[in-house]
Structure 1
Amino acid sequence: MRTRLAWLMLVSACGPSARGGLPDASGGGDEDAPAAIDAAPHASGPVHVVITADNAYSFGYGDVSNVTHFTQGQRAQTAGQIFNCPIGEGPEVYTIPEADAPDGAYLYIVTWDDLSVTQGVLGTFARDSGTVITGDPRFEVCATGIDYSSGANALTGPTQAIINTEIARCNAGTGAAGTTSKGWVNSAGPVTTGALGTLAVGEMNDDQTGTFPITCQPTAATDGIASNAKWMWYDPADGAGGDAFHSTGQNRFKAFLIFRLGVADIIL
């Protein structure tokens, strides 16, 4: 009898157990329901861009392979055309309709400089779903090494066709190591396998005594660039010292540069 009783107890111990007592004959309570999981945030709304560059840029948007909508820029001729209010005198505004900003779309900022004094790009990018400012780790940059500091197109920079050719080269990582970044990089390093350098992140737009003067900031009634936006450029990480925001008089930083931001990343 003892052997049989022990065997019955073992079978009972291996069977299913109910939480808090016997199983509910109705099929279970609320405690058995899976916990609700919040949906991932989704970018929405038109894209509102306020941007400037020291000392030249063009702006466009498209997909991962091409700029399909392009606004040709022009090099600033005075400091006021970079830094001053009102909007249009210094920073400029662009609005991308929501229909042109599906997941998979990219914003492109194409910058070049005159190889004199300072260089950088600064901006704010906002949607209904959130705001991203320059300096955010979601930005990427590719250095093409094609110099527009002088020559016939120094004021207007590269054409849309040239930019798209270079985007293809950036995506493929086929640029020359000595003159390009060999692909896309962000502030942490290579995005494209084998790419060189990093996206340089500089000072915030809040110090009149810094490398750059304070650039037109927003007010309750007017547009501008946020005080916590940070200047960006490309750092070749070549061991030559100094920082990316002061020119050496030569194209050490392999401009022109292409910065990009996925519109789906403009959240929170």
Structure 2
Amino acid sequence: MKLVVCCLALGACGPSSGGRGDAGMVDGAGGDAALVDARPNVSGPVNVVITADNAYSFGYGTAGGITHFTQGRRAQTAGEIFNCPIGEGPETYVIPESDAPDGAYLYIVTWDDLSVTQGVLGQFTRDMGSVFTGDPRFEVCATGIDYSGGADALVGPSQAVINAEIGRCNSGASDASTTSKGWVNAAGPVVSGAVGKLAVGELNDDAGGTFPITCQPTSTTLGITSTAKWMWYDPEDGQGGDAFHSTGANRFKAFLIFRLGVSDIIF
């Protein structure tokens, strides 16, 4: 499956620094000054390495939608998902610092062929650190619009279709029987009334797992680290099994939209 990524803001706070130089001062009880941790300023471009089983598109923009969009295409062979070098399997994108301020979002839009396995794997790096797929700061919204067949099965949803669905994901204005009815994360609903959760699967380090080990970095080449985890959407519908094996039907309500706030790429 292939995926679409766009920039999103999640608003998580950064790690404590413990140093006076980057902390603010507030008056405490009895007039004592207390140090308050300041959120670090995120900086630098966002470097992305991603793949999906078996289709994705990539984009970034605001909480309201994608403004910069790269149309994906469904992989036709396993090598186009898992193999090195970069460009044959996983692909890379660079988001300029000017397009990645606080409040910007990364979006990953995925669809699949409803055959065998399905999932998304990647890493997102800037000056402050890296975030890997499977991190609890990711959110997902299941649109229920099936691109496993039809005229657009290879290229997936258009930017306009995706942005319309992002609006529904934000408002929760969808049918819970056919969609997630809004954003969810690994703990459950983010939008009131949403159903299901972010499914977090295996690390990119087990040749005997559900997925082959996907192109990993070396001292001279890019790849996806072994600490990245596969992720998908779990409808929590009581049918059993896991989210990473297809049932041959659109049980998992794809296409899916994943999002991550660029301001969360801090450690």
Common fold, TM-score beyond 0.5? yes
Matched, 1:54 2:50: no
Please give the secondary structure, in 1, of the residue aligned with 2:33: coil
- For the 8 Å contact 1:83–1:90, the answer to whether it is kept is yes
Q: Which runs of structure 2 are paired with 1:21-170 in the superposition (5 Å)?
A: 34-170=33-169
Gaps of 5+ in 2: 1-30
- For the 8 Å contact 1:43–1:130, the answer to whether it is kept is no
Paired amino acid for 1:245: F
Tell me how far apart the structure 1 counterparts of residues 172 and 41 of structure 2 sit (CA, whole Å).
30
Tell me how far apart the structure 1 counterparts of residues 176 and 208 of structure 2 sit (CA, whole Å).
36
Q: Deviation at 1:107? A: 0.4
Structure 1 stretches of at least 4 aligned residues deviating more than 3 Å after TM superposition: 35-38
Match of 1:187 in 2: 186
Matched, 1:217 2:216: yes
Paired amino acid for 2:211: F
- Normalising by the residue count of structure 1, what TM-score does the alignment of the two structures yield? 0.87
Tell me how far apart the structure 2 counterparts of residues 125 and 226 of structure 1 sit (CA, whole Å).
11
Q: Deviation at 1:35? A: 4.1
Q: Deviation at 1:128? A: 0.2
Paired amino acid for 1:248: T
Please give the secondary structure, in 2, of the residue aligned with 1:218: coil
Q: How many matched pairs? A: 238
- Normalising by the residue count of structure 2, what TM-score does the alignment of the two structures yield? 0.87
Q: Deviation at 1:36? A: 3.7
Please give the secondary structure, in 2, of the residue aligned with 1:238: coil
Tell me how far apart the structure 1 counterparts of residues 34 and 173 of structure 2 sit (CA, whole Å).
48
- For the 8 Å contact 1:144–1:257, the answer to whether it is kept is yes
Q: Deviation at 1:44? A: 1.3
Gaps of 5+ in 1: 1-31
Match of 1:262 in 2: 261
